[in-house]
Amino acid sequence: MTGELSPIDRAKFVAAKQAAGFVEDGMKVGLGTGSTAAWLVRCLAERMEEEGIRFRGVPTSTRTADLARELGIEVISLDEAKWLDLTIDGADEFDKDLNLIKGGGGALLQEKIVATASDQMVVIADAAKEVQTLGNFPLPIEVIPFGWQTSQSLVEETLVSMDVMGRKSTLRMNGAKPFVTDEGNHILDLHLGRIGNARQLALVLNQIPGVVENGLFIDICDRVVIGFADGKVETRDINAGTVTTDQMLFEESDNLFKDLGD
């Protein structure tokens, strides 16, 4: 079955499988959103079936919650959990300091709330997500629908004084209608090209009326697990200052690969 996967999906799979091993019995775990995070949920469900571990998951979107329930994972809300042992999620970009751009899937608000309510955040990604400088991937910001065009204008005016390459922003669409987040908001994608000072930009954007949250995750990620198409997995721990490398063998798994829709 793994032979049918594309190289990018192989990389996502091995990263997710490695990170799934960080989950211990009895933990409360934040479950991310996106294609790589979907691999994680499947790997965790497989561990439950094969090893008998039990944990409770706090999903960062309705689609992650639906997948987790479908695979038999106990789902609870963040209010029920209060605090999490671990959150595992994907990223659209990460740099050497493990600062991130997230929100390509539109769940950045819940993702940031869950990640910051955790003892540790682990990012799982394929090697293509690593960049020297954040900003090539459009930076998502969540804005309330009321006066979103005014918010957009204020954002673009603010970007004039920021250390960025571009200042164009676009409303994210879902077909002919604006994309709507789980909280009923819209997403503006900022096409910046390069972000010279991500920390400053994250602080400034959140001061603009109408902006709920931005997709810059600064000083939140503790470890990144990077998958490669040949099965190599590299784990970087920003706190311990360590880099470890493992080689993962691909195995057939009907449970893991059935009904793939990601």
Are the C-beta atoms of residues 109 and 181 closer than 8 Å to each other? Answer: yes
Is 25 annotated as belonging to a binding site?
no
Is 175 annotated as belonging to a binding site?
no
Is 129 annotated as belonging to a binding site?
yes
Is 103 annotated as belonging to a binding site?
yes
Is 87 annotated as belonging to a binding site?
no
User: Measuring CA to CA, how many Å separate 164 from each of 20, 76, 97, 134, 178?
Assistant: 36, 39, 19, 10, 26
44: nearest Cα among 81, 78, 9, 19: 19
Is 64 annotated as belonging to a binding site?
no
Give the integer Cα–Cα distance in Å for 139 and 151. Answer: 15
Is 237 annotated as belonging to a binding site?
no
Is 105 annotated as belonging to a binding site?
yes
Active site residue 111: yes
CA geometry: angle at 196 spanning 88 and 156, to 5°?
Answer: 95
Task: Given the residues 93, 111, 142, 213, select the one marked as catalytic.
Answer: 111
Helix/strand/coil for 131:
coil
Question: Residues with catalytic annotation?
Answer: 111
**Binding site: which residues?**
33-36, 89-92, 102-105, 129
**Binding site for substrate: which residues?**
33-36, 89-92, 102-105, 129
